[in-house]
C-alpha cells in the first residue's frame, strides 16, 4: 500500500475534518459536530506558518488515512529545537498497514532537514496499540516528567491577575 504524506494546506480542511471527527470517537469523546470541526479546520489551516505547519496528513489511494498534529518548541537539548507530537491518529480500517510509520518517517525526515533534535510525545496508558507501535519504533519511555494540565476553572483562575 502506497502512503503519501504531506503537510496540510488550506485545501485540506475537509480531510482534516474527517480525521478530527474520527479521533474524537476513538479517544472516547462525544462525537464532534462536523460543521464545527470544519470551521475549526479551516481556521487552523488558515493560520498555519509555511515554515512550521501543524498538521501532516497521510493519504492512501487519495483518501485521508492518518494525521499527525505537531508543534515546534525552543530550545531543546544543546539549543536544538524539538518537535512535540500532540496526536498521531490512523483510521481504523488502515491501522497496521504502514500509515503511522509513514507519518513518523515524514516527521523524522523533517526534523533531520531542519535541525530539530528530537520528537517528544505522549499517549494514553490504555492505548496498548499505540504503546506497541512506539516501542516498535524504538521510542524510549521516559519517567522523568509528569504530564499536567490547566483547564476549565483552573485555567480561568490562572488567567486572573
Question: pLDDT band at 7, cuts 50/70/90?
Answer: very high
Cα distance between residue 150 and residue 7, in whole Å: 29
Q: What is the DSSP secondary structure assignment for residue 95, as one 8-state letter?
A: T
The whole-model pTM stands at: 0.86
- Tell me the residue range of the domain where 79 lies: 3-159
For 10-65, write each residue's pLDDT tens digit.
Answer: 999 999 999 999 999 988 899 999 999 999 999 999 887 666 669 999 999 999 99
Look up the CATH number of the domain holding residue 118: 3.40.630.30
Cα distance between residue 121 and residue 108, in whole Å: 13
Q: Is the pLDDT of residue 124 over 90?
A: no
For 86-113, write each residue's pLDDT tens digit.
Answer: 999 999 999 999 999 999 999 999 999 9
Cα dihedral sign for 43, 48, 53, 58? positive
**DSSP-assigned letters across all residues of 113-157:** HHTEEEEEE---TT-HHHHHHHHHHTPPP--S-------HHHHHH
Segment 67-71 mean pLDDT: 95
Cα distances (Å, whole numbers) of residue 86 to 54, 62, 160: 10, 24, 27
Q: Which long-range contacts (CB under 8 A, 24 or more apart) does 18-22 make?
A: 18/64, 19/57, 19/64, 19/66, 19/67, 19/89, 19/91, 20/67, 22/89, 22/91, 22/92
56 near 8, Cβ under 8 Å?
yes
**Residue appearing with cell numbers 485545501:** 11
Strand partners, 81: 116
State how many domains the chain has: 1
116 near 83, Cβ under 8 Å?
yes
Amino acid at each position: 500500500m502506497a502512503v503519501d504524506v504531506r503537510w496540510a494546506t488550506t485545501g485540506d480542511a475537509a480531510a482534516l475534518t474527517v480525521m478530527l471527527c474520527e479521533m474524537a470517537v476513538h479517544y472516547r469523546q462525544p462525537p464532534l459536530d462536523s460543521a464545527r470541526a470544519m470551521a475549526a479546520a479551516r481556521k487552523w489551516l488558515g493560520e498555519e506558518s509555511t515554515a512550521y505547519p501543524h498538521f501532516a496528513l497521510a493519504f492512501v489511494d487519495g483518501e485521508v488515512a492518518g494525521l499527525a498534529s505537531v508543534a515546534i518548541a525552543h530550545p531543546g537539548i544543546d539549543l536544538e529545537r524539538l518537535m512535540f507530537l500532540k496526536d498521531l491518529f490512523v483510521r481504523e480500517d488502515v491501522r497496521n498497514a504502514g500509515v503511522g510509520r509513514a507519518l513518523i518517517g515524514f516527521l523524522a525526515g523533517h526534523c533531520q532537514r531542519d535541525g530539530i533534535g528530537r520528537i517528544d510525545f505522549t499517549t494514553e496508558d490504555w492505548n496498548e496499540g499505540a504503546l506497541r507501535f512506539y516501542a516498535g519504533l524504538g521510542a524510549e519511555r521516559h519517567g522523568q516528567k509528569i504530564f499536567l494540565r490547566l483547564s476549565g476553572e483552573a485555567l480561568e483562575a490562572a488567567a486572573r491577575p
